[in-house]
Structure 1
Amino acid sequence: MSYAIIGFGKIGQALAKAFARKGIEVFVATTRDPESFAADAAAIGPKVTAKTLAEAVKADVIFLAVRYESHRDVAKALPSWDGKTVIDAMNLFPVPEELEGIPSSAVVAKAFNGAKLVKGFNHLAAATLAADPVVEGGHRVVFLSSDDEDAIGPVAALAKQLGFAPIKLGKLNEGGALVHARGRTWGKLIFQDLFKKEQ
């Protein structure tokens, strides 16, 4: 499996640190020239490599860590996203009226034609996401939701590999609604820093 993070702001860098901590190779990309952030990527770890957007989207699993408004630009990087898993780590707030009642991830899923979309890694603040997820004898929780049942399993396995405790919330408009904002109200699980103890 190959991995990429699109977006190199606070969340993108926090995700890169999670990969670096476990020595897992990951590409990072933005719409900018990779030379402009290559040194920052290398400083996170030797297996974090700056790439062009066109190179990064060749990965099997792609984290979206851009501003919501930019997701369509990323989606245009490939004519079809068949065979790809896209993890929506973005947060949209406040939610525009035209999306009222529709999870933002459902809109993102349509833009990434053919991809298996999973909402995840979006409920933790960047500093928390960047920190070691093994704490107080347990693992920091990440919530995952998707309308594609087959997509959640591999992303849950990746979350475990990164040291997190994955919790499956079901479909985007069911349990997944807990990690989406509605209007000017954050979802109930947003910014909840929870731990799961070892059984």
Structure 2
Amino acid sequence: MHFGTIGAGAIGQAIAGHLVAAGHRVVLSNSRGPASLSGVVARLGPSATAGTVAEAAAADVVFLAVRWSDIPAALAELPAWNGRILVDTTNQMTGVTPADLVDLGADTGSEFVARHAPGARVVKAFNTLFVEHIAPDPRHPEGRRLLFYAGDDAAAKADFHAVADEIGFAPVDVGALRDGGRLMQVGGPLSALHALKQG
């Protein structure tokens, strides 16, 4: 399974680091182009490469890790998704205060993302964790870091679960994009819940 990131900030780099440590190849991308990521991929190691957004989006599993306002542009004019998995790590926030929460009405953030990536099998994950809880080894003496995820495609969720488990997290399926997404989005009961699973 090959992986890509659309966005290579702190969250994209943290996830890529875990995947590389597990022996996977990852193509990182951002809006500034591959040359801007030379230092990042050098630090991550030879299994990480820099590519265009289209090259990263061609991977089997793609992590969307851009600012909320950049989502439409980041997903525009990409090749057909054809059922590849898009893991949405974003939150519908334009800043860091409660006033910056974007009101989508009845929709969740990942339903918004899915509309901008037709044909992708969208899984929501990582958005409930602060980056300082994503980047370090999720395995602790007290247990493994819980990682909530949601999605509408059972096979995509099973694939994501296997990857999350492999890189050390304790994945927990919280349901469909709409119901699970509401639990996970900012203001929901799982948002910013940083907990460990014992055993």
**Whole-angstrom distance in 2 between the partners of 1:127 and 1:19:** 17
2:181 corresponds, among 153, 176, 186, to 176
1:166 corresponds, among 171, 176, 184, to 171
Query: What displacement does 1:128 show?
Result: 1.2
8 Å CA contact retained: 1:123, 1:143: yes
TM-score for both structures, normalised by structure 1? 0.91
Query: What displacement does 1:45 show?
Result: 2.5
Measured on the aligned residues, the alpha-carbon RMSD in Å equals: 1.5
- 1:53 aligns with 53
Instruction: Give the counterpart letter for 1:56 in structure 2.
Output: A
2:133 corresponds, among 128, 131, 144, to 128
Aligned length: 193
Q: Which stretches of structure 1, 4 residues or more, deviate above 4 A after TM superposition?
A: none
Q: Which runs of 5+ in 1 are unaligned?
A: none
**Whole-angstrom distance in 1 between the partners of 2:74 and 2:198:** 37
Query: What displacement does 1:95 show?
Result: 3.0
- The 3-state SS of whatever aligns with 1:166 is strand
- 1:109 aligns with 114
- 2:96 aligns with none
Residues 20-35 of structure 1 correspond to what in structure 2 (within 5 A)?
A: 20-35=20-35
Q: In the alignment, is residue 81 of structure 1 matched against residue 87 of structure 2?
A: no
Query: What displacement does 1:194 show?
Result: 1.1
- The 3-state SS of whatever aligns with 1:39 is helix
- The 3-state SS of whatever aligns with 1:37 is helix
- 1:15 aligns with 15
Instruction: Give the counterpart letter for 1:191 in structure 2.
Output: A
Query: What displacement does 1:69 show?
Result: 1.6
TM-score for both structures, normalised by structure 2? 0.91
8 Å CA contact retained: 1:53, 1:77: no
- The 3-state SS of whatever aligns with 2:127 is coil
- The 3-state SS of whatever aligns with 1:123 is coil
Q: Which runs of 5+ in 2 are unaligned?
A: 94-99
Instruction: Give the counterpart letter for 2:101 in structure 1.
Output: V
- The 3-state SS of whatever aligns with 2:178 is coil
Query: What displacement does 1:79 show?
Result: 4.2
* Paired-residue identity, %: 37
**Whole-angstrom distance in 2 between the partners of 1:175 and 1:62:** 20
Instruction: Give the counterpart letter for 2:153 in structure 1.
Output: D
Q: In the alignment, is residue 69 of structure 1 matched against residue 66 of structure 2?
A: no
